[in-house]
Chain A
């Protein structure tokens, strides 16, 4: 099969996987979800890495350094912010019914 056909098949299947996995996320987690998926599209940084070796000329290199920096901000910032948001939920979810404070961490 043509590699483009394979790539397109992967693209379509990934769309369905994403749809199925994500439609189960509860409302409460929508903000972290948006932030988490936001970090994942930082995958574009790979494009910057791949092209860097092939690039020539100052302009291309400068543009790619910016692109890699942008992608890195996207990935690192995205995952860190999501982690910070989610830490707040951790341990507090569904504490024992008898004692509503049970699951809380002292902060």
Chain B
């Protein structure tokens, strides 16, 4: 914007900037649309239109496409991205959505890091102002962390990597992370202050930040992954905004910063729902096989009561109020349609059915809502945690489908438990609890659940979808 040389160039720049203003206005307007389910689809499309305008305006601004290779290279990049992005987005199952968001976020961060690298190679020594360089280096570090961190998050959710935390013993991990962070920042300072071996240093920064991204996410347990993805989403947004400042590009600044702000809010909301602080999550440890506390509580070794589909059907069909508490198990088994069937059958028998939705059930906030909406479960049957908890004492049967940690009474009763203090669905207050589970393996957080050993709890083992279908058939037969 500073270099307004000729009249023609000025006009072009003005046009581009005007188009950018239209573009980010559309994006912001689109985001306001996301505040209500009815306007959300339109909102998303509006934001997409804004993005398209920003891209076209940028291409027009580079009207100087003199080297014909530039056009082809851009087309090549866009073609590759389209060829990968469209099928990935179309084919992904609703249950695998969190991984998909993680990987899309990751490539965004990767793009920031790569752009920063090229910019740096290109501009270094060209007398760039120090302060602009600072934003660029920020983008390089944070973008790289986001890329590698998101890949690890993807690996954990896709179960390529183990969900449990992988970390150095004791405080070693924190020390290592701190060390890497210091190296990254120190290299950035050295670079910005104009050392000669710049090419090596920028690569060094990217590599150290890459290591840091891996090291930050590896020690975090699977249960905390939604918070991590949200945090990395905010990171990518901030790094995009920083690149925008470095390039003095208003569209990038505004769009990146909005994402940075929203990601931060969302991260806080999610952490709050789990009664954990973001720094504690990043410090790692929780959400994995935390051996001592669970064993010490003496919950293990109790006996569980397993039941049959027929018994469950009878229990449910003669209840007045049945609450269904779904979790990740419902998602992996793709059981949402079967659950809807069961709900309809029960309603036909005069049973009142409600769904209890824990804010972090599944792998992302709203994960259960999306799945149940897919299965056409009426929106008004879905109750949020605060709304449904007072209803459990008058609930006859609670059907827990593949949810574990979010129903674990240890969060309320055992101060030694790693999830102590996390708000839960108080299913243990209902008259009877039926838990559908694949096996006695503990939940994603790796913590034993005393709920399973309570006398009023019975367990039905097997794939959630098959179990629900069986129960539905039995209810029909009654």
Contact = CB atoms under 8 A, between A and B. Distances in A.
B111 A48 contact: yes
A52 B41 CA distance: 33
Contacts of B367: 31
Interface in B38-62: 38, 40-41, 43-45, 47-48, 51, 54-55, 58-59, 61-62
B244 to A, nearest CB: 8
Given A38-B105, A67-B114, A88-B373, A31 B237 contact: no
Contact of A85 (B38, B62, B255, B370): B370
Contacts of A22: 31, 34, 258, 261-262, 265-266
Interface stretch (B358-366, B396-404, B447-455): B358-366
A23 B244 CA distance: 24
B77 A31 contact: no
Contact of B77 (A42, A65, A83): A65
A11 B257 contact: yes
Contacts of A10: 250, 253-254
Interface in B361-400: 364-367, 369-370, 373-374, 376, 378-380, 382, 384
Given A14-B253, A66-B114, A77-B100, A41 B40 contact: no
Interface of B: 1-2, 24, 27-28, 30-32, 34-38, 40-41, 43-45, 47-48, 51, 54-55, 58-59, 61-62, 64-65, 67, 69-70, 73-74, 76-78, 80-82, 84-86, 88-90, 92, 94, 97-98, 100-101, 104-105, 107-108, 110-112, 114-115, 117-119, 121-122, 129, 131-132, 229-230, 233, 236-237, 239-241, 243-245, 247-263, 265-266, 269-270, 359, 364-367, 369-370, 373-374, 376, 378-380, 382, 384
A28 B40 CA distance: 11
Interface of A: 3-4, 6-8, 10-11, 14-19, 21-56, 60-61, 63-90, 92-95, 100-101, 104, 107
Contacts of B90: 80, 84
26 contacts: A4-B245, A18-B261, A19-B262, A22-B262, A25-B34, A30-B266, A31-B367, A32-B44, A34-B230, A34-B364, A36-B47, A37-B263, A44-B240, A47-B244, A53-B65, A60-B122, A65-B76, A68-B77, A70-B111, A72-B85, A73-B88, A81-B97, A83-B45, A89-B41, A92-B379, A93-B379
Contacts of B366: 27-32
Contacts of B62: 49-50, 52-53
Contacts of A90: 37-38, 40-41
Task: Pick the 5 closest A-B CB pairs, nearest first.
Answer: A72-B81, A68-B77, A18-B261, A18-B258, A80-B89
A60 to B, nearest CB: 5
Contacts of A17: 28, 254, 258, 261
A83 B41 contact: yes
Contacts of B374: 88
Contacts of A72: 77-78, 80-82, 85
A66 B24 CA distance: 25
A83 B44 contact: yes
A18 B104 contact: no
Contacts of B67: 53
B256 A43 contact: yes
Q: Is the interface of B mostly helix, strand, loop or mixed?
A: helix
A43 B240 contact: yes
Contacts of A81: 89, 92, 97, 100-101, 104
A75 B86 CA distance: 10
A49 B108 contact: no
A70 B110 contact: yes
B64 A53 contact: yes
Most buried by A among B24, B45, B244, B366: B366
Contacts of A35: 97, 101, 104
A3 B131 CA distance: 12
Contacts of A89: 37, 40-41, 373, 379
